[in-house]
């Protein structure tokens, strides 16, 4: 029987209210390359108790603690569960099949999955191309990684930025320090990015400096918050004083820039894309000075190079 270890709470500080340049200016140009983050050694950790009373063909979801990630979702045997960036949440869609599914076996269940320590409202199913039913969490299909050797192991987190472990709230588990870099987007100019080069956005229905995010539930599945589970690293040319963090309603922490909570966009498929800019007149890419990018600009898609981060 596996039991989860409690995850220590992280201190949160409301920071990042100072601006180094007035909004409407964007003086920073990208240079260099993103440094690779070195993750700590993964050690086997106990997972929570397997729920009793499950039926034949019924998958089980439990929680497990992984060093460097904290609390994550696992199957009934304690194997870490992952989500795939190329899948969809609204509506749910599984795109990993064939050879992909051999490396990343889908968690399938003939009947709705049984969950322990997880909000049952987050759990669902989607029909795969072969007709089997795959478990979804917060709308996204979940998978195991074939090379994970047992409970508390999450080797899949180092394979690709497209694959991330899943938290009990259905979000991406933190894979190390949050990173703020910059990248040039054709038609838009320099914008802030995360460690994978994905464009970061602010939501004008949030209130700058309020310490709160108003995007949760379905909104947060479409616009994943940038997690702040540890230290925050920033690229050269970005004022470290702009970076901060807040506590979200689900208990996780989120990076803020210039007092704005920042998010990625689930439909951006590669670095250099900023397809969420201008969506609904409320979502805008973030400039390196913490301001929203020009609402009238129309970004084009291209690959871009992020700057080398320092430590905040």
- pTM listed for this prediction: 0.52
Q: How far is CA 160 from CA 83, 86, 258, in A?
A: 11, 12, 29
The predicted pLDDT at position 50 comes to 42
Tell me the per-residue pLDDT of 67-101, one tens digit each, with 9 for 90 and over.
767 788 999 999 999 999 888 888 899 999 999 99
What is the residue-averaged pLDDT of the chain? 78
Tell me the per-residue pLDDT of 172-187, one tens digit each, with 9 for 90 and over.
776 456 789 999 998 8
Q: Cα(33)–Cα(158) distance, rounded to whole angstroms?
A: 19
| CA-CA-CA-CA torsion sign (239, 241, 246, 252) | positive
Q: How far is CA 60 from the centre of its chain?
A: 23
Residue 309 has pLDDT above 60, yes or no: no
Contact 293, 191 (CB under 8 A): yes
Q: Cα(43)–Cα(258) distance, rounded to whole angstroms?
A: 36
User: What three-state secondary structure class fits 261?
Assistant: strand
Strand-pairing partners, residue 113, are none
Give residues with Cβ within 8 angstroms of 127, minimum separation 6: 133, 134
Tell me the per-residue pLDDT of 101-126, one tens digit each, with 9 for 90 and over.
999 999 999 999 998 878 888 899 99
Tell me which DSSP letter residue 243 carries: E
Q: Cα(24)–Cα(20) distance, rounded to whole angstroms?
A: 12
Q: How far is CA 200 from CA 132, 176, 292, in A?
A: 35, 18, 10
| CA-CA-CA-CA torsion sign (188, 194, 198, 200) | negative
Tell me the per-residue pLDDT of 201-218, one tens digit each, with 9 for 90 and over.
999 999 999 999 999 878
Which tokens is 267 given? 């439909």
Q: Cα(198)–Cα(84) distance, rounded to whole angstroms?
A: 15
Q: Cα(214)–Cα(207) distance, rounded to whole angstroms?
A: 9
**DSSP 3-state helix, strand, coil percentages of the chain (rounded to 5)?**
5, 30, 65
Give residues with Cβ within 8 angstroms of 6, minimum separation 6: none
How many other C-beta atoms are found inside a 10 Å radius of the C-beta of residue 275?
Answer: 14
């Amino acid at each position: 029987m596996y039991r989860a270890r409690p995850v220590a709470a992280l201190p949160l500080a409301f920071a990042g209210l100072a601006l180094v340049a007035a909004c409407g200016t964007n003086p920073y140009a990208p240079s260099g390359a993103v440094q690779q983050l070195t993750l700590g050694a993964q050690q086997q950790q106990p997972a929570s108790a397997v729920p009793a009373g499950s039926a034949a063909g019924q998958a089980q979801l439990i929680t497990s603690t992984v060093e460097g990630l904290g609390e994550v979702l696992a199957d009934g045997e304690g194997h870490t569960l992952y989500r795939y960036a190329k899948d969809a949440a609204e509506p749910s869609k599984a795109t990993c099949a064939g050879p992909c599914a051999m490396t990343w076996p889908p968690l399938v269940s003939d009947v709705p999955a049984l969950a322990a320590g997880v909000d049952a409202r987050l759990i669902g199913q989607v029909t795969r191309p072969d007709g089997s039913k795959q478990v979804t969490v917060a709308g996204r299909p979940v998978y195991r990684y074939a090379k994970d050797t047992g409970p508390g192991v999450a080797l899949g987190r180092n394979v690709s930025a497209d694959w991330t472990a899943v938290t009990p709230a259905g979000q991406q588990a933190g894979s190390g320090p949050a990173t703020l870099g910059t990248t040039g987007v054709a038609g838009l100019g320099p914008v802030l990015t995360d460690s994978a080069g994905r464009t970061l956005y602010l939501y004008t229905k949030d209130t700058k400096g309020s310490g709160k995010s108003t995007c949760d539930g379905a909104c947060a599945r479409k616009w994943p918050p940038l997690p702040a589970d540890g230290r925050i690293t920033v690229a050269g040319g970005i004022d470290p004083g702009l970076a901060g963090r807040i506590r979200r309603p689900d208990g996780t922490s989120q990076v803020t820039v210039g007092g704005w909570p920042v998010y990625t966009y689930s439909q951006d498929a590669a670095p250099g894309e900023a397809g969420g800019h201008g969506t609904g007149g409320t979502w805008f890419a973030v400039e390196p000075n913490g301001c929203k990018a020009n609402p009238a600009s129309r970004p084009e898609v291209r690959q871009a190079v992020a700057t080398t981060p320092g430590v905040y």
